[in-house]
Structure 1
Amino acid sequence: MSNRINHKNSRVDLNRPLTFTFDGQTYQGFAGDTLASALLANGVKVVARSFKYGRPRGIIGSGAEEPNALVQIDVGARTTPDLKATQVELYDGLVAGRTSGWPSLAFDLKSVGGKFSRFMPAGFYYKTFKWPTKLWPFYEDIIRRAAGYGKSPVEADTETYDHQHHHVDLLVVGGGATGLLAALLAGRSGLKVLLVDDQSELGGYLLSMPNVLIGGVSASTWSANIINELQSLSNVTILSRTTAFALHDMNMIQAVELLQDHLPHAARKNAQRRERLHRIRASKVVLATGAFERPLVFGNNDLPGIMTASALTTYLNRYGVACGKNAVIMTSNDLAYQGAVDLAVAGIAVTVVDTREQINPEWAAKTNQLGIKVYVGYGISEAVGSNAVQGVQLVKLGSLKNVVTAKGPYVPCDVLASSGGLSPTVHLFCHDGGRPQWDESRLAFVVSANGRAKDGIFCVGAITGVFALQEGLVNTHNTLAELLTSLGKTINNSGLVLETDEISVTPARRIFHVPDGKDGHGAKAFVDFQNDVAVTDIQLAVRENYRSIEHIKRYTALGFGTDQGKLSNVNGFAIAAEALGKTIPEVGTTTYRPAYTPVSFGALAGAHVGDTFEPRRYTAMQTTHEQYGAEFEPVGQWMRPWYFPKPGEDIHAAVNRECLATRNSVGMLDASTLGKIDIRGKDVREFLNRIYANAWSQLAVGKCRYGLMLDEAGMVMDDGVTACISDTHFLMTTTSGGAARVMTWLEKWHQTEWPELEVYMTSVTDHWTTAALVGPKSREVLAKLCTDIDLSKDAFKFMDWRDGTVAGVPARVFRISFSGELAYEVNVDASYGDYIWNELMKAGKEFDITPYGTETMHVLRAEKGFIIVGQDTDGSVTPFDLDMAWAVGMKKPYSFLGKRSLARSDTSRTDRKQLVGLLPEDPNVVLKEGAQLINSSDITPPVAMLGHVTSSYHSAFLGRSIAMGFVIDGIKRRDEEGNNIVYAWAEGKAVKVKIVSYVFVDAEGARHNA
């Protein structure tokens, strides 16, 4: 069935047919259609099933307000869920599908449950799915499946996206009549202007009202003239298909532009972005965002074929679609009458039901002239039909609000529209703290023209409650004149005519809804169509003592989802106010938050995906590691070798082999990722004294020292070894993941607190590549390649460094160890990374030198009791908790960061959680990291938590499992026989554990001092 009419003012090109599919059926539309208009033109009424009850749902709106027609577009990597059919531009070959209804739209299994809707009121989820608790995962799965909507793509997105930044004098949001006029007046003044509008063409609701004249010309001609002039101004930029979805502090607005979604796939350019996110900084903002028509609330008001009056008019005038042959329009204001007239002129039978006691005489004369029957003082109690509306039952209304005095006639129809007045689109205005005010004369939450002039935000048109076109244009002119004057600009009125021939608008006089109790167990009256929130749900929430509209919203789901209150909020507020015995302004509004409409993750991410979002950094030895078969893991931004498996080895076998080889002979680790900061200046020692907890004044040239870096609270934030290159030159190393944070920390304190210190810092992490040669044979390996450094025990001691040459390359060699073994860190220019690794591997071949990765590094350091900041610390650990008082110079005559905090009563108490070693009673059990430590295997609540496991491994060298963790008063407990037993609880099991020293291998240090 085709509902297409050859409307002379239609924006659809009937000479350009397009083929598309919906839910597996093939249809024809035309260029200029939306998916919604094309479906309606083809007689498709049911497009969705409702969220909770599985009721059939049709298209209600014509734009961003549409709550029902959420569709899945495209297939494969391009598929996009939950787009509104009213905003999807039709193109040839478009593939669309439903997002709700199982197994089909014709029959939804949820509709069976919907017949028992009296048992599923607001909050029934919370009351029903509480027990037995063990079944919650089952309940959750069923609820999620039943909820819909849409499916995210599982394939990688093949499209690209980007961001663009703007700095403008004036941003105008909205391309309707008032937005166009505001942009023109500002553009004529010479201001740098940006105009954004979410539709494919500018004009807003003017595109739906072609019969209105402005200055003696049609609305479309008037707007076309302004658009042409705007396009001729070099200081004006127009972005169509661009939705401003968020307004932030200091007039930063975010908008997303759809660049290619309206094109057939064959016409899309791979080199062009699919969407673009615009970040706009504007000195002044004009919001010309208009208003949405809100529906009236009556029984079965969700039947397919029921829509807003403005949508019915839009489909007729803009898209040339007659949504039915016999229309009923229910209204409480004058706004619907022009649509009724347009429908009648197009040959559609029209009946108007007006809830008011009297109507505008001018509209009465027009409707009478066209033979339109008008029921004055009537309302609709319920719509009649199953899968589509077939008629309405009228009731006679009294003078009091929503009081029925008598039953009225039954009126057959195949399309039903309603108009409950306009709700200004105040969402953006409210995003950063603005609040609308209730206007009783307009029955709407509105903002003033100078809404937030102090912030540079001005409002024009319907958002201010000015719903008449001529009044809106005059209001816009006056607001822009005031705005431009404040900027020292003059307004240019040349050629502007703002008079219209529209009939005066009488605002809505009542917010009508079906009388209380009518929809209790019969015809449901819906307020929020997307979330199946009925009148009785709001009334129930009030009876259950919810008093705040924010709480009522959350209990009922009113205004959730993509609706965001566009259609539902004011009706919901009115019903809540009535139930609470309050006025609507006393109830107030809910909070509007970004995004105004859904925004794709692709647009938000832009080009910041993959390596551009989280760049992967590789050391200079990457090629060699790959040749040796390394498996990698991310450490911060670095990709580091995790382990080097041989054929047939899993991670456990490989790590055991690497650990034993390193302890017994020699292993090699790529340590290039350690942060390296070059610090110079005459005050460098003083600077280090303040930054580190220990002393640096006496460190000799050629020596290294381990240091703990504390934050202001006295908690460990980083650690590392710093070498004295000269009296005015030190090289600091940091943790791999902490390099950038530490560099920022140093600069922050130097620049803001100690600018008098002559210190210069340079990050040199990428300048050096570091090979750590570790194990009892490491000296013999290095001696093969280094002849200009005396490597003997007494000449080159532990924590010394030397300049020399390794394999012919200038090098700094440090004798430091993170394993407890004899070890040397060979630092050379990064360009020699692969070369130095390969040369060391050749030199160590006779000792079966073994490359090892981060997992083995962790095991070796844990065997020695060395901490890793961020794993064995969490921002709440002091040096004393780590049993590292030796690294804190509390008696040195100068202060250091965190020193004062270490003296606080809480940080100085002795019964804090302290670092200990842990040995499971069963040596084959490796404790779960994060396991809670408790005093007993009895886990009957409440259970006192004594601490937790931070590091846990199997040690091949020791032939058993080991762990480190924190226990309250742990240092004392490890020395008290009988009091040194705790239990590690995780995943429902308690494992008996003995508290011991955290140094498991070579407590005397003989190995690293060898």
Structure 2
Amino acid sequence: MKVTVDGAELVARPGDTLASALVRAGRRVLSQGIYTGRPRGLVAAGAEESNIFVQVLSGTGEPMVRATEIEAYDGLRVRTLAGKGLLPAEPDDARYDKTFAHTDVLVVGAGPAGLAAALAAGESGARVLLVDDQPRPGGRLLASRSTVDGLPAVEYVESVRTRLAACPEVTVLNRTTVAGYYDHNYLVAVERRTDHLADPPAAMARHRLWNIRAGQVVLATGAHERSIAFPDNDRPGVMLAASASAYAWRYGCLPGRRAVVFGAHDGSLAAAIDLADAGMEVVAVLDVRDAVGPELAAALAARGIPVHPATPVLGTLADPDGVLRAVLTSAGDTVDADLLAVSGGWNPAVELFSQSGGRTAWSDAAAGFLPDQPAQRTFCAGALTGAVDVAEALATGASAGAAATRATGHEVSEVQPPVVTGSARHQEPPAAYFFVDSAADDRVFIDMQRDATLHDVRRAVGAGLTSIEHIKRYTTIGTAADQGRGSGVLAVGVLAQLSGRSMAELGTTTYRPPYTPISFALLAGRDRGRLADPERVTAIHDWHVEHGAVFEDVGQWKRPRFFPRAEESMNDAVRRECAAARSGVAMMDASTLGTIELQGADVGVLLDRLYTNVFSTLAMGRVRYGVMCGVDGMVLDDGTTARLSEDRWLMSTTTGNAAKVLEWLEEWRQTEWPNLDVRCSSATDQWSTVALVGPRSREVLAGVAPALDCTVEAFPFMA
């Protein structure tokens, strides 16, 4: 496949993202800091990416999307951004729609934990909806070299897909992101249906908005890899360690040739093994901890890779293009490298859990904020709970899926978690290590998308700010398009160290929906153009159209304004129509006026209290005009009311106030005078009304209703 980036053609392979195609092509410098102008490159392989956003020019187009979240297709055209994209000038002709779903168990995330949860729930017979933002389920299993139940990880994923497909009540939505978690287990998800297609079917909606009500929710949203801040940590070539491994093993492309790995947990050592086994030269592993996992250290030693405990990175050096060429260590070494793979730990993706009202708590064991107290019918599993090992993720997922299913009333047999082999075990606890202090704090970047640095946080603390919410607003850290996925917890860690307070005391910033942007086009769905607002028409609307009426919008009604003839202007047409009304006869379709039918013995009493004049004395067959005022004495509405029989009345209102007047009647009838025998119902759509005026109007009425005596004596005014 061929894709075009900034006018240059690249070759992409099936399954590539735009980011992996760029890595394969050796493109290092792809953007620049919006304020500093410093060169920037890819730092991640997924949602943590904070540097490289592009504007999609092909197809429908999109102003600003992460390069890591765009599926490559033949003919894809993009331009890289340093800042915001531009809204396209052309109209968006794509279709958007929405749908509603009710399910016993909703599973969010189809990594190892989500798959295990969905399988436990689906094979019990419960109605299950599995939602995942990736093109195919599996999550990190797609880049894993472990075996699960004797199968390679990727083949195990396919076996689970087959089993889920055999469950009649299981629905799997790929390319679908849950963007909001609201009260009463109501969640909103965005399905991207055609963005990956070079030539999407014209009849298929581009995006679909899912409104989901779930009996129980299993959150298996995973975790975002956290970086470590140090001087010049923004150079192209500095990348998150697990992302570098994913590029190598999931996409088959190496993000460098000679690597240094720098971390604060055993996962960074596992990434170093993955990179070495993929063919990259790993020259050193630097770890901030005094001790590392012995099994992983032995595996690295067997590959000839030295591990340096208690040795942080102090800075980097760049070539003339600004790309990484060497790493400076606290041991005084300068190590030549074109890749620095960094991992400070994992930030569980608690955004949806927090949106649901759940509380999070800092865990020293996981070196991250974990779900603590759920506020709704929510279960958590996998890396979201700190279970970063594949085996632990599968076990917690199966357990959560079974528990959620039992809570719906379905029986679940005992679930045996799969057996995992070949996966690195995390033996030593992670370190809560966030940054390397330096006098060059204006080059220690905390939020690269905002070009916000350690210097900015230090200045905020010096100004007396103590809350992470205030720090966020003062420094703008976490306010860019990534909404703090990569910088939020990192900023909390920096603030904790600078202020001498604990992570538990500081907490996190508030996570608000939507988790990912939702376009206005999707919110509108098909309700745009003529469907943007309901169009109400009268029973004789087609006659008006046939006779050339010019319509005006009154409320939601299409009401004829005038009927021009030939080249007649509006003024000429109105003069002609007025002359006809004064000298002959004219009629107007007044069906748009509100009509309310009232029944009961006390209707007259109610109207006496709500109108400014008396209605209870109105004789049957007669009509009376009235003015209705609000509690402030101002006019609320006016109209006429006819008494059809002893206990049946027909009220007319202005076109725009029909619903308001009915609500006004019901408010007083139900709350102040419930003892009155009155019933009110809207009848606007059930009656057609034609106003007939002019000196010859009685002749016309007599012709339409020959049996009706239309003389003045028999049919007087307001009768």
Looking at structure 1, the residues matched to 544 and 147 of structure 2 have their Cα atoms a distance apart, in angstroms, of 76
Query: Partner of 2:619 in structure 1?
Result: 700
Given the superposition, is the C-alpha separation of residues 786 and 314 from structure 1 closer, same or farther in structure 2, using an over 3 Å criterion? same
Looking at structure 2, the residues matched to 587 and 708 of structure 1 have their Cα atoms a distance apart, in angstroms, of 61
Q: Give how far 1:282 is off.
A: 1.0
Q: Give how far 1:387 is off.
A: 3.9
Q: Secondary structure at the match of 2:605?
A: helix
Query: Partner of 1:33 in structure 2?
Result: 16
Query: Partner of 1:527 in structure 2?
Result: 446
Q: Give how far 1:584 is off.
A: 1.8
Alignment partner for residue 289 of structure 2, among 329, 350, 356? 356
- Aligned-partner residue type, residue 26 of structure 1: E
- Aligned-partner residue type, residue 207 of structure 2: E
Alignment of 1:13-32 (within 5 A): 18-32=1-15
Query: Partner of 1:321 in structure 2?
Result: 253
8 Å CA contact 2:112–2:397 kept in 1: the answer is no
8 Å CA contact 1:391–1:410 kept in 2: the answer is no
Query: Partner of 1:44 in structure 2?
Result: 27
Q: Give how far 1:496 is off.
A: 4.7
- Aligned-partner residue type, residue 653 of structure 2: T
Query: Partner of 2:700 in structure 1?
Result: 785
Q: CA RMSD in A?
A: 3.0
Looking at structure 2, the residues matched to 650 and 547 of structure 1 have their Cα atoms a distance apart, in angstroms, of 68
Alignment partner for residue 65 of structure 1, among 41, 48, 68? 48
Alignment partner for residue 332 of structure 1, among 254, 259, 264? 264
Q: Tell me, yes or no, if structure 1 residue 562 matches structure 2 residue 481.
A: yes
Query: Partner of 2:718 in structure 1?
Result: 801
Looking at structure 2, the residues matched to 502 and 641 of structure 1 have their Cα atoms a distance apart, in angstroms, of 74
Between 169-178 and 574-583, report the one with greater CA deviation.
574-583
Q: Tell me, yes or no, if structure 1 residue 154 matches structure 2 residue 110.
A: no
Query: Partner of 1:688 in structure 2?
Result: 607
Q: Give how far 1:343 is off.
A: 1.4
Looking at structure 2, the residues matched to 642 and 779 of structure 1 have their Cα atoms a distance apart, in angstroms, of 18
How many residues align? The count is: 710
Q: Give how far 1:328 is off.
A: 1.9
Query: Partner of 2:705 in structure 1?
Result: none
8 Å CA contact 1:643–1:654 kept in 2: the answer is no
8 Å CA contact 1:79–1:152 kept in 2: the answer is no
Between 712-721 and 20-29, report the one with greater CA deviation.
712-721
Alignment of 1:697-846 (within 5 A): 697-709=616-628, 716-747=635-666, 757-772=676-691, 779-787=694-702, 800-802=717-719
Between 470-479 and 165-174, report the one with greater CA deviation.
470-479
Alignment partner for residue 437 of structure 1, among 349, 354, 361? 361
Deviations 1:381-427 (A, max 9, x none): 2222254432344242xxxxxxxxxx622222222221010000000
Looking at structure 2, the residues matched to 462 and 753 of structure 1 have their Cα atoms a distance apart, in angstroms, of 57
Q: Tell me, yes or no, if structure 1 residue 457 matches structure 2 residue 378.
A: yes
Alignment partner for residue 240 of structure 1, among 174, 185, 201? 174
Q: Secondary structure at the match of 2:267?
A: coil
Alignment partner for residue 164 of structure 1, among 94, 99, 110? 99
Query: Partner of 1:907 in structure 2?
Result: none
Query: Partner of 2:342 in structure 1?
Result: 418
Q: Give how far 1:593 is off.
A: 0.9
Q: Tell me, yes or no, if structure 1 residue 257 matches structure 2 residue 191.
A: yes
Q: Secondary structure at the match of 1:676?
A: strand
Looking at structure 1, the residues matched to 414 and 687 of structure 2 have their Cα atoms a distance apart, in angstroms, of 68
Query: Partner of 2:72 in structure 1?
Result: 90
Given the superposition, is the C-alpha separation of residues 99 and 715 from structure 1 closer, same or farther in structure 2, using an over 3 Å criterion? farther
Query: Partner of 1:510 in structure 2?
Result: 432
Given the superposition, is the C-alpha separation of residues 657 and 585 from structure 1 closer, same or farther in structure 2, using an over 3 Å criterion? farther
Looking at structure 2, the residues matched to 588 and 710 of structure 1 have their Cα atoms a distance apart, in angstroms, of 53
Looking at structure 2, the residues matched to 40 and 246 of structure 1 have their Cα atoms a distance apart, in angstroms, of 32
8 Å CA contact 1:303–1:387 kept in 2: the answer is no
- Aligned-partner residue type, residue 510 of structure 2: T
Q: Tell me, yes or no, if structure 1 residue 572 matches structure 2 residue 491.
A: yes
Looking at structure 1, the residues matched to 555 and 469 of structure 2 have their Cα atoms a distance apart, in angstroms, of 41
Query: Partner of 1:54 in structure 2?
Result: 37
Alignment of 1:261-272 (within 5 A): 261-265=195-199, 268-272=200-204
Q: Give how far 1:706 is off.
A: 3.5
Deviations 1:65-95 (A, max 9, x none): 222222222347x112212221111111112
- Aligned-partner residue type, residue 244 of structure 1: V
- State the identity %: 41
Deviations 1:762-816 (A, max 9, x none): 433234444546xxxx542424424456565x8876xx433xxxxxxxxxxxxxx
Query: Partner of 1:590 in structure 2?
Result: 509
Deviations 1:551-577 (A, max 9, x none): 221222221133122111111111122
8 Å CA contact 2:217–2:404 kept in 1: the answer is no
TM-score (norm 1): 0.66
Q: Give how far 1:361 is off.
A: 2.1
8 Å CA contact 1:779–1:791 kept in 2: the answer is no
Query: Partner of 1:180 in structure 2?
Result: 115
Between 658-667 and 36-45, report the one with greater CA deviation.
658-667
Higher RCO (Cα < 8 Å, 6 or more apart): 2
8 Å CA contact 1:511–1:571 kept in 2: the answer is no
Given the superposition, is the C-alpha separation of residues 626 and 188 from structure 1 closer, same or farther in structure 2, using an over 3 Å criterion? closer
Looking at structure 1, the residues matched to 345 and 572 of structure 2 have their Cα atoms a distance apart, in angstroms, of 73
Given the superposition, is the C-alpha separation of residues 475 and 622 from structure 1 closer, same or farther in structure 2, using an over 3 Å criterion? closer
Given the superposition, is the C-alpha separation of residues 72 and 723 from structure 1 closer, same or farther in structure 2, using an over 3 Å criterion? same
Looking at structure 2, the residues matched to 737 and 277 of structure 1 have their Cα atoms a distance apart, in angstroms, of 31
Query: Partner of 1:369 in structure 2?
Result: 302
Deviations 1:833-892 (A, max 9, x none): xxxxxxxxxxxxxxxxxxxxxxxxxxxxxxxxxxxxxxxxxxxxxxxxxxxxxxxxxxxx
Between 222-231 and 88-97, report the one with greater CA deviation.
222-231
Q: Which runs of 5+ in 1 are unaligned?
A: 1-17, 101-147, 397-406, 803-1010
Q: Secondary structure at the match of 2:259?
A: strand
Deviations 1:469-518 (A, max 9, x none): 22333333444454455555554357753344433313321323131532
8 Å CA contact 2:358–2:371 kept in 1: the answer is no
8 Å CA contact 1:710–1:717 kept in 2: the answer is yes
Q: Secondary structure at the match of 2:459?
A: helix
8 Å CA contact 1:20–1:92 kept in 2: the answer is yes
8 Å CA contact 1:288–1:459 kept in 2: the answer is yes
Looking at structure 2, the residues matched to 230 and 549 of structure 1 have their Cα atoms a distance apart, in angstroms, of 43
